[in-house]
Amino acid sequence: SPRPFVYAGSRLECSGADLSELAAQFGTPLYVYSGDAIAERARMLQQEFAGVLHTICYAVKANSSLAVMRMLGELGCGFDIVSGGELERVRRAAPEALGRVVFSGVGKQAWEMDAALDAGILLFNVESEAELEVLAERAQALGKIARIALRVNPDVFAETHPYISTGLREHKFGIAIERAREVYQRAVRMQGIEPAGVSVHIGSQIRSVEPFAEAVRRVRSLVEDLRGDGMDIRYVDAGGGFGIEYGKAEFDPAARVAEYARALREVLDGLNAHLLLEPGRFLVAQAGALLTRVLYTKQNGKKHFVITDAAMNDLIRPALYQAHHEIVPVVKDERAVQVADIVGPVCESGDFFARDRETQELRQGDLVVLLDAGAYGMSLASHYNTRVRPAEVLVEQGRARLIRRRETLDDLLAAELI
Ligand code: LLP
């Protein structure tokens, strides 16, 4: 199974830890991650790319937990950050990896650039000429050199949800690839700026390899042009976006990564570049789940509702992207099958995890798990409805430890002034 959540008899476990016990010990809603599964995915990527000089820069936004970041840092990963806040997380969780950080995002601010220059990060993925000018100014002010890659927009279409597709000209990301060479020409003359790479990211949850290969093919040709112009372009940042399977369909992550690696290696063959990858979801999504308890069940007309103690503020993917998450009971038994909407307590009709979902009959007090919630789950959680966010637990070799305590209402209100 691509997921570390499996039944031991009738009881669901995460890498050997019993989920009923975790609920009893830490309460619900609770994010549970398997450190073993995260490490397995990281090693899978590293092995498949072993033949090429590469660095895996984990996309912090997918799951920003300090404990998860520390684990990945110890496995030799770098990080893809998009804010000064995420940089601070790297400082605290994996300071030894600061030299393996790439900084993406269309709206970097001067203070964030200063902090990143000061930390000596590997590469700025610059997304506009205006940003390039500010970066040059900051680098000069601090007496530093900013290594940059332009994030180019290759105009490659990749099938995914429109909110997470990014590689088309109409999107706000990057610089059109046809214009890139001219911008590099400007960049190379700027004091404080050193063009060192080309980067691309075409979107997220992309399940076929061809769009990645096509994007990197276009990047390769640009790298060759730039080298011809005399620039020392060493890095190819192929971005993140490698997808997983959320439903019940067969999914063999090792085979899929092998295919992805083969395609990229082929496109980059002989280029002699250092490949950077920015995977988020692939590393952490399936390693995590959201554990929640049924508060109530009810029936309105013909429709059955199961109301859980987790809500859209804890996991917004179904509400925001109509995302599908498998929902399974923590204790399986012989009850009848039911069809119900599984919803949270938040006062919005959009607060649902599943509509007309078939599960075993669920009763008040039952525990259920929303699978594949390790990426863009907790990191997108909010306080909407003045709800504290879930606690988080990391399981390694059957041992669970709290990596984020449950918030208190005092935490939640601490910054407010009347
Ligand atoms: N690099 C860049 C520049 C990105 O913008 C992203 C994700 C990644 C890497 C990592 O992509 P991944 O490997 O995780 O697909 N909240 C949405 C996903 C948003 C993705 C944003 N950018 C979701 O829950 O599906």
CATH 3.20.20.10 domain extents, the chain? 49-282
Considering only residues 71 and 171, tell me which one the structure prediction assigns the higher pLDDT: 71
Structure confidence at residue 158 (pLDDT): 81
Model pLDDT for residues 357-377, shown as the tens digit of each residue: 999 999 999 999 999 999 999
Does 347 participate in catalysis according to the annotation? yes
pLDDT of residue 180: 97
Q: Is the dihedral of CA 77, 80, 83, 84 positive or negative?
A: positive
- Cβ(173) to ligand 1 under 6 A? no
pLDDT per position as a tens digit, 106-117: 999 999 999 999
Give the list of residues 6+ apart from residue 335 with CB closer than 8 angstroms, or none. 360, 361
Q: Is 377 in the pocket of ligand 1 (CB under 6 A)?
A: no
Judge contact between 329 and 11, C-beta under 8 A: no
What's the sign of the alpha-carbon dihedral 187, 272, 98, 87?
positive
State if residue 165 touches ligand 1 by the CB under 6 angstroms criterion.
no
Angle 389-66-37 from CA coordinates, rounded to 5°? 90
Nearest atom within ligand 1 for CA of residue 278: 9
Average pLDDT score over residue span 63-92: 98
Specify the residue with its C-alpha closest to ligand 1, atom 6. Answer: 240
Q: Walk across the sheet containing 17-18 and list its strands.
A: 5-8, 11-14, 17-18
Do residues 374 and 284 make contact, with C-beta atoms less than 8 angstroms apart? yes
Asked whether 205 lines ligand 1 (CB < 6 A), one says yes
Mean pLDDT of all residues in 297-316:
97
Q: Which residue has the tokens 């050997």?
A: 16
Please determine, for residue 394, whether its predicted confidence score (pLDDT) is greater than 80. yes
Name the closest-CA residue to atom 7, ligand 1: 204
What average pLDDT is seen over the chain? 96
- Kindly report, as residue ranges, where domains of CATH 2.40.37.10 are found in the chain: 5-33+287-413
The fold adopted by the segment(s) 5-33+287-413 is Lyase, Ornithine Decarboxylase; Chain A, domain 1 (2.40.37)
Instruction: Indicate if the pLDDT at residue 167 is higher than 70.
Output: no
Digit-coded pLDDT (tens) for 180-204? 999 999 999 999 999 999 999 999 9
Q: What is the pLDDT of residue 172?
A: 83
Q: Over 80: is that where the pLDDT of 33 sits? A: yes
| 104 CA → ligand 1 middle, Å | 11
* CB-ligand 1 contact for 153 (6 Å cutoff): no
User: Based on the number of CB atoms within 10 Å of its own CB, is 143 exposed (0-12), middle (13-18) or buried (19 or more)?
Assistant: exposed
ipTM above 0.85, yes or no: yes
User: Where residue 166 falls among pLDDT bands split at 50, 70, 90?
Assistant: confident
Interatomic CA distance for residues 139 and 155, integer angstroms: 31
Helices (H), 53-97: 66-74, 84-93
CATH class of the 49-282 domain in this structure: alpha beta
Across the range 146-157, mean pLDDT stands at 94
Question: Is 241 a pocket residue for ligand 1 (Cβ < 6 Å)?
Answer: yes
Q: State the Cα–Cα distance between residues 284 and 297, nearest whole angstrom.
A: 31
Percent of the chain with pLDDT over 70: 99
- pLDDT band for position 239 (50/70/90)? very high
Q: Looking at ligand 1, which atom is closest to the CA of residue 375? A: 24
pLDDT(170) > 80? no
Q: What is the pLDDT of residues 125-146, one digit of tens each?
A: 999 999 999 999 999 999 999 9
Question: Which range, of 35-49, 162-176, 291-305, averages the lowest pLDDT?
Answer: 162-176
**Probe target for ligand 1 pocket from 204, 277, 315, 353, with the most ligand atoms within 8 Å of CB:** 204
CA distances 152 to 121, 156, 277, 396, Å, are 20, 11, 15, 39
pLDDT at 161 exceeding the cut of 80: no
Q: Given the CA of residue 242, which atom of ligand 1 is nearest to it?
A: 13
Choose the weakest-confidence range: 164-178, 227-241, 305-319, 321-335: 164-178
* CA distance between the termini of the chain: 52
pLDDT at 169 over 80: no
